[in-house]
Amino acid sequence: MKWRGSLRERCLLRAVQICNIISVSAAFFQGNFTVPKTEKTAKRTGPEANHAVKMAIREASKSYQTRSGAVHALDKVSLDVREGEFLCILGPSGCGKTTLLWSMAGLHTLSSGDIRLGNEPITKPHPEIAMIFQDANLLPWRNLAKNIELPFELKRRPPDRARIDKLLERVGLAGFENKFPRELSGGMQQRASIVRSLSVDPSVLLMDEPFGALDAFTRDEMNLLIQEIWMETRKTIAFVTHSISEAIFLADRVAVMSARPGRIAEIYDIDIPRPRAIDIQTEPDFIKQVLDIKSRIEHGRGAKVAIT
């Protein structure tokens, strides 16, 4: 199921990645050869900034007990997610992004520290918080309509038909209600899962590398869609990714995590006006920001993050 067309998609993905790298390095060698590593194009901000805080993470630590000892996945992570902002959490593989997000969703208990939504401590899943998973995570035995009704079924409420239909229309899935997940493309599946999460009208959306498994074209499309949805709904979004350019493209702020133990290394403000077009990713300023963050990550931990 998974591998269907994957060869083609992977080739495409590779090709686009290579183009990306070429264009980035081309820009680098053409005009911006002198980008000094210290010059900041993105500003760092501290927690003292004056904004309404939607979710507050304080000194959150989490370690997993494994046979070979404890793994410190999170180490005293403190982070504010502001009301209505688009926050991207960026970090290399294995640095604890998923652990952080699952804890924010109340799916994990922390070893120490706490996470609050407003004043409420999050210890179990909260109806205001919805999670979107990496591969769309639709239930293969249910058709699209039934998949989207799942949250209502679990909450023992009649489905909000009007809202669901509007959302389906919005993401271009109207008319596909009777299709099963295996009959839909990866992008369509992820759009369905976005509809499923939005259907219950949460105020916080947590997204864990939602577009990581998609080919580059679909990914661009989805990035535009999620930007539009965010601009229309102004939900608070925490979006995990390991792609620097995706993070910058989407975010108001980018929180960079470092690995082992997982920490917030730095937070960047991104002041690019919206709506942002896909093209801006090839503009020198944008590339400068990508390289800046990349160099800092490499400088900090020697960890590797792909420029894609």
Ligand X SMILES: Nc1ncnc2c1ncn2[C@@H]1O[C@H](COP(=O)(O)OP(=O)(O)OP(=O)(O)O)[C@@H](O)[C@H]1O
Q: Which residues bind ligand X (CB under 6 A)?
A: 64, 66, 71, 73, 91, 93-99, 242
Residue with smaller CB distance to ligand X, 93 or 178:
93
Residues 97-136 that bind Mg ion (CB under 5 A): 98
Among 12, 16, 53, 107, binds other proteins (CB under 8 A): 107
List the structure tokens of 32: 């911006």
Range in contact with other proteins (rule: CB under 8 A) among 110-118, 179-187, 219-227, 290-298: 179-187
- Asked whether position 183 contacts other proteins by CB under 8 A, the answer is yes
Interface map 147-176 toward other proteins (x if CB under 8 A): ---xx-xxx---------------------
Residues 76-105 that bind other proteins (CB under 8 A): 102, 105
Residue with smaller CB distance to ligand X, 94 or 106:
94
Q: Which of ligand X, other proteins, Mg ion, none does residue 125 bind to, with CB < 5 to 8 Å depending on kind?
A: other proteins
Residue with smaller CB distance to ligand X, 199 or 245:
245
Q: Which of other proteins, Mg ion, ligand X, none does residue 7 bind to, with CB < 5 to 8 Å depending on kind?
A: none
CB of 45 to other proteins, least distance (A): 30
* Alpha-carbon span 23 to 286, nearest angstrom: 12
CB of 167 to other proteins, least distance (A): 16
CB of 64 to ligand X, least distance (A): 3
Residues that bind other proteins (CB under 8 A): 1, 4, 102, 105-107, 125, 127, 129-131, 133-135, 137, 139-141, 150-151, 153-155, 180, 182-183, 200
